[in-house]
Structure formats: C-alpha cells, structure tokens
Amino acid sequence: MTRCWLGIICGGLALLTSNGVEGASVQYTIRLSQAKNHYADIELRCETGGQQQFELMMPTWTPGSYLIREYARHVESISASNADGAQLAVSRSRKNRWLITCGDAKSVVVNYRLYCNEMTVRTNQVESGFALFNGASTFLSPVGARDQEHQVRIELPDDWKHAVCSLPNAGDDQQSFLASSFDELVDSPILCGNPNIYPFKVGDREHLLVSIGEGDVWDGDATTRDLEKIVAEHHRLWGVVPYPRYIFFNLLVEAGGGLEHDNSTVMMISRWYYRDREKYVRWLGLASHEFFHTWNVRRLRPKPLVEYDYENEIYLRSLWIAEGITSYYDDLQLARCGLISQKEYLDSVSKQIETLQTTPGRNIQSLSDSSHDTWIKLYRPNENTANSQVNYYNKGAVAAFLLDGEIRSATDGRKSLDDVMRLLYERHAGDVGYLPDDFRTIVNEVSGADLAEWFARYIEGVDEFDYAKTLDRYGLEFQKPKSQRPEGDGQESKPLDDTTTPEPKKKAWVGLTTEDSSGRLVITKVLRDSPAFQAGLNVNDEILAIDEYRVTAKQWADRLKQYQPGDSVDVLIARRERLTKVRLALEAEPAKTWKLSVIEKPTDDQKQRLADWLHQK
C-alpha cells in the first residue's frame, strides 16, 4: 500500500527549541483547565520548512475499529499564529483537513479545542476525575510529517498525579512523551488522573495494570496475579515477546469494550464484574483477547493493514483471522493457564456455537464477505442484521475451533493451529503482512493436507459447519434436551417406571423478540423463516391482541404458553397507527441444543486428546 498523505507537503521540518525535545519536529501541549466540561485545549507547534502553505490532517477512523467515525467533528475554535503571535489564515480544505497560510513564517503555533465526552475505547473522555486520549481522535498532524518524531506534553490539573502512556518519556519530564512517528503516536493511548497502578514482571518484561474507578469493589492485586498467568501463557504460545513494556489500561466506568495497541490495551467494563464469577471471567477473556492481538493484528497484520490509510477505508478479507482466531484463543488461553475450568471453557465454546447456529445470516453472508464488508455492516447493526449477516468475531472463533481440530486430526495430534500461527508470525510479521492465500498455504503445510475444499465451503462459502469430526476427536457431544414429565391436572404425580420415557412438552414458537415500550408490546426483531417472518409481522409493529383478547408486554410470555405447536392464531397489530389482523401459524420451539459436554464413556485416546488440546495434565 502506498502512503495516502496527499496534498501540500510540510517538508524539511526543522528542530524546535521552544518547549520541545531535540529531534521532535511536531510538538503538542495538552491543557486540561476545562476538564470538568469535557474540553481539552491543544497547542501544536511545527516548523514550516519554508512552505507558504501547508495542511494539517486528522484521522477519520481508529485502527482496530473499522468504521469511519469523523473525529474532526469534535474540533472547535482552531486558530494559527506565527512565532510573534500574529494570526495566520486557517481554512477548511477537506472534512478532516485544515490549510494554514503561513507566508514567510518559519514556524507556526496552532491551537484548537477538542470536545471529549465519548466513553469508548477508541475515542476521548475528559472529565473532572480523569482523561483518556486516543491518538486518532486527538491529534492533528502536518501532512507529510508522518515519519517525523511527535512529542506530547500534558499539563495536568493540580490534583492529578499521573499521565501514563506506553511511549518513552521525553527527557526527564514524566508528563511528556516522545513518539518516533505519527503511527506510534496514534498507537499509544494516554490515561491521566489518579489511577491505581500495579506493576508486575513476566520473564524479563515489565507490565502495568492501570485502573481507574476501582472504589472498594475491584481487587487490583488479585486481578494482577491473574494477568500474570495470562501473559505467561501467551508468551509460551508465541515463543517471542515483541514489546519492551506493556500496559493494561483498565477503566471501570460502567461501559464496555477493548482495543488493542502494540504495547498496551484499553479496556472498559463495570467495576461490579469482579464480584460476579461469570462476568469476571468475561473480563479475563477480554484481557486475553486484547493481549493476543499484541501478536495477531498488531505485528502480524493482513497485508492491506501493514500501512494505515488514516483517511479512508481499507478493504480486506482476513479479519476473521485477525479477530475470529483471536476470539478462539482468548478463553482457550484462560483454560490452559488454569484460570477457568474445563466446564467453563466448554460452556464458552457452546455459547459461541449457539450464537452462530441461531443466526440465520450464517446462510447468507460468508466469513470472507463479513470481513470485507465490516466498514458498512458490522458496526452498524439493525433489526435485520441477524437475518442477513454473520459476525466474523463469532463465526471466525467457531471456524478456528474446527480448523484446529482438522489440523490435529490430519497430523495425529502432532501439530495444531498453534503451529500455524507461530509460522505465520515467523514469515509474515512486520512489513511483510499476509493475504488469505498465505494463511491457507501455511495451514496446508502444517497439516500436510489440502484443505482447499474446507476453506471454499466454510470461509468463502456459507455451508453449515460439520461439528461431528472435531467433537468425536475430543469425546464431546451436544447435550440432548432434557426430558420433561407431562404437566398433570393438579393431582399428585406418580413416579415413572424405568422403561418410561416421557415426551418433553413442546413450546409454541413465534420467532420474534419484543420490548416493553411504556407498556406497549413492540416487535424488535423477526427471525428469517420463522412463523412471524412467514406471517409478515414487522419490526416496530405493536401487538395488541391474540384471538381477540388483549395482551400486554407483561402478559406476552405467559399468553404464548397457552398455545401448542400447530395452533393458528389471529394477532391484532398496530402498524403506524393502522390496525391490522395477521394469521400466525405457531411452530414447535427449535429443540436442538448446542451445549457441549464430555460423552458418558470417552476412550483413553479421546481423554488424552482433550487434555492435550487444553494443556491439562
């Protein structure tokens, strides 16, 4: 990919001496006097290199989150002056660019105000207690200065103690950081405030857990010990440690998400996750996922992402490798390092499979197309998303689970997806990058088999996954639905003899979801080919009655229990205020379950394969 920083070049940028570090061509000062109002005031200093005009640009998206987000919309009150303070003309040359007319000025000072009140891992949040800055949504930079050093200095409020970043400090100033390029600046979030900081060491590398919002709920010492185990397990898998120091930014702000960087990650969750085992395991999985990205997608990148175009979409078909395979390994690594039990891990895989198998869009969109279309689909879900799309995180994780099983079966357990990822990293990390064909070539090489048909069916195509081979390898099965006794007539039920197998009671199924909208029963989703879909019920229809009897949001679930599969009912709906009656034929609730469990009598070989997969003794 060629560089896309077109326009007037700010060439030959000279060294600055005012408030700067020798060698830093572009210098920022971030002031937080209006933090309580979500504002950051940013000063940018740059030499003009003798140019009469030059452009500043701001990225439109953040690497790792593939959607154009238009960060320039948060820029306010931009102005420019020369070294003597004389104002220079500033004009908007593009939605995310500004043209500075500098005349004979040898250097310029640009000031702009940034509104920062978007609590996500990819944007900025500034408030009275802390500030989080992500590079893409923060910094304007001279076009053509991408490979120049960029220095950032933070002027903290008097009651804030720390500015934490993975970048090295600029000299002895603990509030100044020096990036070797704009790429490194964008890749290095900064957290300011009074966080709890927990240093730990794995091997010869320093790590930090940096938490905001612990209160008396979150146990930072205990979570640090868990992170040590995760880090050690990832080191073991990859065999190389590519970073000098790593920071886990842990914002306990009642929000959600995670975003990877070369030497750090930003995570957001609720502090109350710590007191709920299932939710805490989700946090561990998030930390494992983002840390796995240190290798897979940060250093080992799909070829189109080797060099970022910060202003335009970058299309690729291998995000299922970058994100889906990472989603496979996140919880697997927790099981391997002993942080979750075998049952907890199998439950995690079960949820991934169930999510996929109950998404009708799996029969419409391939994994390859899902990766390519991420810019217009994944981050813009609507009521029909489940019917028409597949999530490359989810289906990619299930595909990785099955591909791992294929490789293990083909090599009689001597090789696995672990070996594929290590070899892919060895050959394609750094500036090389990889294409889908490179990945397939290495899979074939490691497995010793030609899996072209597998990729054609399951990655490029939309064939249903075949789980039987992989499950049999590990001695696993999908649990059958539990048998239920028929409901009696209120009399004491009699015990069943050993030969009796009662038929489970079948529930009437409609195939839609609803919400209580101020007491109104409103349809929010209709699954493809379900009874509701066949009847022509629509999202936003309000359900008023069934068979001429009024039904409310609170009554909906209980009312459906009064009917059996095969029944047909008249549903009265209001669609844009017009009353319409729809005939609905109820069906049996799908009885297939996707919950994995170990078979009753696994063979010794199956037990050993399961143990080898999970690295259990």
Task: Please state, in angstroms and rounded to a whole number, the distance separating the CA atoms of residues 57 and 311.
Answer: 9
Residue carrying structure tokens 């290199």: 49
pLDDT confidence bin for 343, thresholds 50/70/90: very high
Region 18-39 average pLDDT: 79
Query: Residue 417 in contact with residue 402, Cβ under 8 Å?
Result: no
Please tell me the predicted confidence (pLDDT) of residue 482. Answer: 60
Nearest to 46 by CA among 158, 144, 174, 165: 144
Please tell me the predicted confidence (pLDDT) of residue 440. Answer: 98
What's the residue count for the chain? Answer: 617
pLDDT tens digits, one per residue of 264-302 = 999 999 999 999 999 999 999 999 999 999 999 999 999
222: Cβ contacts below 8 Å, ≥ 6 apart: none
Query: Residue 31 in contact with residue 155, Cβ under 8 Å?
Result: yes
* Statement: residue 581 has pLDDT above 70: yes
Query: Any alpha helices (H) in 358-485, and if so which ranges?
Result: 367-372, 385-388, 392-410, 417-428, 436-447, 452-458, 468-474
pLDDT tens digits, one per residue of 433-467 = 999 999 999 999 999 999 999 999 999 999 999 99
Task: Please state, in angstroms and rounded to a whole number, the distance separating the CA atoms of residues 157 and 237.
Answer: 43
pLDDT tens digits, one per residue of 108-119 = 999 999 999 999
Global confidence as pTM: 0.91
Please tell me the predicted confidence (pLDDT) of residue 141. Answer: 95
* Statement: residue 172 has pLDDT above 80: yes
* Statement: residue 506 has pLDDT above 80: no
Who has greater pLDDT, 468 or 505?
468
pLDDT tens digits, one per residue of 534-577 = 999 999 999 999 999 999 999 999 999 999 999 999 999 999 99
In angstroms, how far is CA 428 from the centroid of its own chain? 23
Please tell me the predicted confidence (pLDDT) of residue 173. Answer: 87
* Statement: residue 189 has pLDDT above 50: yes
pLDDT tens digits, one per residue of 317-336 = 999 999 999 999 999 999 99
Query: Residue 154 in contact with residue 137, Cβ under 8 Å?
Result: no
Nearest to 234 by CA among 203, 198, 274: 203
Task: Please state, in angstroms and rounded to a whole number, the distance separating the CA atoms of residues 151 and 167.
Answer: 10
DSSP track, 119-152:
-STTS-EE-SSEEEE-STTT--EETT-TTS-EEE
Please tell me the predicted confidence (pLDDT) of residue 505. Answer: 64
Indicate if the alpha-carbon torsion angle 483, 488, 491, 496 is positive or negative.
negative
223 backbone dihedrals φ, ψ, rounded to 5°: -70, -30
- State whether residue 115 is helix, strand or coil: strand
Nearest to 146 by CA among 180, 100, 114: 180
Domains and their CATH numbers in the chain: 26-193 (2.60.40.3650), 196-292 (1.10.390.10), 316-475 (1.10.390.10), 508-588 (2.30.42.10)
Please tell me the predicted confidence (pLDDT) of residue 499. Answer: 47
* Rg of the Cα atoms in the chain: 28
pLDDT confidence bin for 616, thresholds 50/70/90: confident
75: Cβ contacts below 8 Å, ≥ 6 apart: 58, 112, 113, 114, 140
Quote the mean pLDDT of the chain.
92
Task: Please state, in angstroms and rounded to a whole number, the distance separating the CA atoms of residues 596 and 406.
Answer: 18
